[in-house]
Amino acid sequence: MASGSPAAPVAVVGAGWAGLTAALALARAGQPVHLIEAGRTPGGRARSLELDQTPLDNGQHILVGACQQTLQQIRAVDIDPESAFHAVPFGLRMFDPGGHAPAFVLEPRSPRLPALATALYRSLPGHATGVRLRALIGAAAMLHRPLRHDLPVLDWLRQRHQPEALVQRLWDPLCLAVMNTPTRMASARIFQNVLRLALNHGPQAAQLLIPARPLGELFPQPALRELRQRDACVELGRRITAIERDATHPDAPYRLHDRQGGTSTARALILATPPTATASLLPSDPGWDATHQGLAAMGAGSICTVYLRYPRPVTDRPPLQGLLDQHGQWLIPRHVAGAPHWLAIVISTADDLAPLTADARWRTVARSLARTFPELGEPETGHSVCERRATVDARVDLDHQRPPARTPWPGCYLAGDYLTHALPSTLEAAVQSGLESAHLFLEDHP
C-alpha cells in the first residue's frame, strides 16, 4: 500500500472495546482499517480467557440499562442484549460476615423518586424519624440538584445528611461498584452523573444487566468477524513499540514499529491503548505537554475476581448479592461452559489479597463465604484472576485532567475509557470514546 495515498489505512492500535468500536465505525464508513492488538484475544480489559482449561471472563462486567451506546454496539454486531444479559431491577441486598439475613436491603418498587424515598426510609430501621427524613431529602437532592463544584463523594454524603449506616452499607459499596474508587477519593460529580443517568430515566435505564454469555461473545469476537468481512486487516499478538512521523510534512504517514522489528505504515492513527501504554508511544516534545500531563495524572485501581465451583448448581441463587466487610463485595452465580455450578466474587481494591498466590486467594475467599452462606459448603475447585490496572481512578477533578482526544499530530487521535467526560472507566466510556475518535477522524478527513 502506498504511504499517504487515499488507500493507506487508518491504524487502530488496541482491540479493547474502544478500539473495536472505533475500527468498526471507520470500516462501516468505508475507510480501510488496520487493527493491531498486542494480546492474543480481543476485548482488552473486558475479555474471555482460559484458566486451567476453564473458559472464564477476566472480570464481571455489569452494565445498567442507561449504557445506551454499549448496548447499541452490541446490537449492531447482531447480538441481542435481551438474551445476552440477565436484566435485574435496580436493588441491593447486602450481607454482613456470618449474617444469614441481609444486613441491608434497598429494593424500591421502581427507580422513581417516591418509591426510592420509601425504600430508603425503610432501609434505616432503628434510626430516629428525623434522621431518616433528613437522609431521604438529602438523597433526593443528590439525584436532582446538579453539583457546581467537584468534591469527594464522602464529603458530599456528609453534606447531604447521609447517616453512617447508609454510608457504610449503601454508598461505600455502590461507589466502589460504579467507580472502583473509594468514597474518600471519588469524584462526586462523576458519581452523581452515573446516578442520574441510571435513576432519573425510568425502570429500564436503572436495570442491572449481568452478562449471561462469555464477554468475548458479547462484542469482541463478533466485532472482529465483521471487521474481517469488511476487509479490515486485523493483527492479534502484535505489540507496537514505537511510532514515527516526519513532523515537517503535514501529510506525512505514520510508521508503526513492533517488537519483532516489523513496520507498518498508516495515513492516520487511533491509539486505543490505556494511558501508560499511550504515553510510551507518543513523542515527548514540548507541544505534547498537555497530553502527557493528562496521561500521567491517570491513577489506576485493581479488581480481582475469584471463581468457585460447587458440587451442586448455584444459579438458583439471587443474581447479585452484596458482601459487607468481607473478602469481596459482590457475589454473582455463573454458568461456565454450560455448568451452573459457579460463583464469581468481585474484589475491588483487593490489596490485602493481592500478595497471595491465586490458589491461596480463592481458598481464603471460599472460607469467608462459607461463614456467611454455610449452605454453600466447600467448593470443589477455584480460580482467581487479578487485573492490577482494571480501571482509571475516578478521582475528584478527573474531568479537568483528561487529555484531549485530538493530539498535536494531525490525524492522530486517542481513544479509551479514560477519556470520556463525566463517566468512570467503564465499557460505556470506552465505547463512547471509540465512537468519538472515529467521528473526529471523519470530520477532519471529509
Ligand X SMILES: Cc1cc2nc3c(=O)[nH]c(=O)nc-3n(C[C@H](O)[C@H](O)[C@H](O)COP(=O)(O)OP(=O)(O)OC[C@H]3O[C@@H](n4cnc5c(N)ncnc54)[C@H](O)[C@@H]3O)c2cc1C
CB of 349 to ligand X, least distance (A): 12
CB of 256 to ligand X, least distance (A): 9
CB of 433 to ligand X, least distance (A): 7
Q: Using the minimum distance from each CB to ligand X, give the nearer residue, 140 or 177.
A: 177
Contacts of residue 245, defined as CB under 8 A and 6 or more positions apart, other chains included, come to 252, 253, 254, 255, 409, 412
CB of 375 to ligand X, least distance (A): 27
Pull the grid cell for residue 198.
441510571
Q: Using the minimum distance from each CB to ligand X, give the nearer residue, 162 or 326.
A: 326
Q: Using the minimum distance from each CB to ligand X, give the nearer residue, 369 or 427.
A: 427
Pull the grid cell for residue 424.
468512570
Q: Using the minimum distance from each CB to ligand X, give the nearer residue, 142 or 429.
A: 429
Q: Using the minimum distance from each CB to ligand X, give the nearer residue, 237 or 313.
A: 237
CB of 61 to ligand X, least distance (A): 4
Q: Using the minimum distance from each CB to ligand X, give the nearer residue, 369 or 392.
A: 392
Q: Using the minimum distance from each CB to ligand X, give the nearer residue, 26 or 62.
A: 62
Q: Using the minimum distance from each CB to ligand X, give the nearer residue, 14 or 328.
A: 14
CB of 280 to ligand X, least distance (A): 8
Q: Using the minimum distance from each CB to ligand X, give the nearer residue, 58 or 192.
A: 58
CB of 125 to ligand X, least distance (A): 30
Cα 250 versus chain centre, distance: 36
Q: Using the minimum distance from each CB to ligand X, give the nearer residue, 227 or 427.
A: 427
CA-wise closest residue to 392 among 193, 154, 187, 179 = 179
CB of 96 to ligand X, least distance (A): 23
CB of 28 to ligand X, least distance (A): 18
Contacts of residue 70, defined as CB under 8 A and 6 or more positions apart, other chains included, come to 17, 63, 427, 428, 431
Q: Using the minimum distance from each CB to ligand X, give the nearer residue, 323 or 427.
A: 427
CB of 16 to ligand X, least distance (A): 2
CB of 82 to ligand X, least distance (A): 19
Q: Which residues pair with 269 in a beta bridge?
A: 11, 412
Residues binding ligand X (CB under 6 A): 13-19, 36-39, 44-46, 58-63, 239-240, 272-274, 277, 303, 305, 387, 390-391, 416-417, 425-428, 430
Cα 153 versus chain centre, distance: 19
How far is 216 from 40, CA to CA, in rounded Å?
Answer: 12
Phi-psi sector, 321: left (phi>0), alpha (psi -120 to 50), beta: beta
CB of 413 to ligand X, least distance (A): 13
Q: Using the minimum distance from each CB to ligand X, give the nearer residue, 103 or 236.
A: 236
Chain length of the chain: 446
